[in-house]
Amino acid sequence: ALVLIVTLKLVATTACIGLGVPGGLIGPTVVMGALGGGALGVIGHDLAPQLSASSGFYALLGMGAMMGATLQAPLAALMAILELTANPNSILPGMVVIVTATLTSRVLFGHESIFISVLRSRGLEYHHDPVAVALSRTGVGAIMNRHFSIAAKSSTLADIEGVFDGTPEWVVMMDGGRILAALNEEQLRRVIAGLEAEQAHESSELPAGHGHNCVVVRADATLREALDAMDRDDADVAVITGSSKRDSGNVHGILTRAQIDAAVRYGG
């Protein structure tokens, strides 16, 4: 009967959370843990009555284990057991089951606190350190570099040299409207020197390997979102466009990690 009740309670609680029904999580967690622990206590008492404690004590341990694993709050779970029993002898068995359950959930299955999991499933940010807040409040358009030019991958040496007419700080290399890489002035000069050494006055492709590995970030993104995109692709440069796709072709500016660091350090 206890196993059936805990199964039905688990299904009901999961359905309520998934459907967004208002309600708490600690109460159902405690109830399911107590029911599961009580069921194991009954089974243990039937198998070895001379070695097992009362089923109520196992229900208490199950409650603490479920609370510690689900909420990732082992100390709070242990204090709850101590307050309910008012017996210091319950600390050791409580510690054993709570630590085991918490480590199993965290290390073996990689689960975080259920509250953090719910926040993440709703796309909400739970980090509130000053740096994250500052990055989340500033848009990429506030600090991006707008001094750039566009160069096609199939550009000739004369075309590449003509890019310097506008004295850009960055050059975005594109191939048929698709963004390939971003080159700063020093990298572009190295490309020109290499092409001159090869006497490439004829049609020659601009090598993508000379530029920075870049990510494409929307113009309405925050600095936090841009930094996350750079981290995912191990890039140091973000090309700001009207879309998050590389074939958008509408470049608004260039953003680097150094600019983000400066914005955080000096407040923009």
Q: Judge whether residue 255 has pLDDT over 80.
A: yes
Handedness of CA 49, 53, 56, 61 (dihedral sign): negative
- Contacts for 187 with CB less than 8 Å, ≥ 6 apart: 210, 211, 212
What pLDDT is recorded for position 246?
A: 65
Q: How far is the first Cα of the chain from the last one, in angstroms, to the nearest whole number?
A: 63
Q: In order of start, what are the domains of the chain with their CATH numbers?
A: 2-121 (no CATH), 130-266 (3.10.580.10)
Residue 107 corresponds to which tokens in the numbers above? Answer: 């290390």
Lowest mean pLDDT among 82-91, 172-181, 208-217, 239-248: 208-217
The set of residues, in sequence order, having a beta carbon less than 8 Å from that of 59 and lying 6+ positions away, is 34, 35, 37, 38, 41
**Position with higher pLDDT, 230 vs 264:** 230
Please state, rounded to an integer, the average pLDDT across all residues of the chain.
Answer: 83
Q: Which of 44-48, 62-66, 195-199 has the highest mean pLDDT?
A: 62-66
Residue type, 135: L
- State residue 51's pLDDT score: 82
Phi, psi at residue 177, to the nearest 5°? 90, -5
Task: Determine the average pLDDT of the residues in 56-74.
Answer: 93
Phi, psi of 267 (to 5 degrees): 70, 35
Alpha carbon of 2 to those of 36, 58, 73, 221, 257: distances in Å?
Answer: 7, 13, 25, 51, 56
- 3-state class (DSSP) for residue 67: helix
Which of 90-94, 157-161, 248-252 reaches the highest mean pLDDT? Answer: 90-94
The verdict on pTM exceeding 0.75 is: no
Work out the percent of the chain whose per-residue pLDDT is above 70: 83
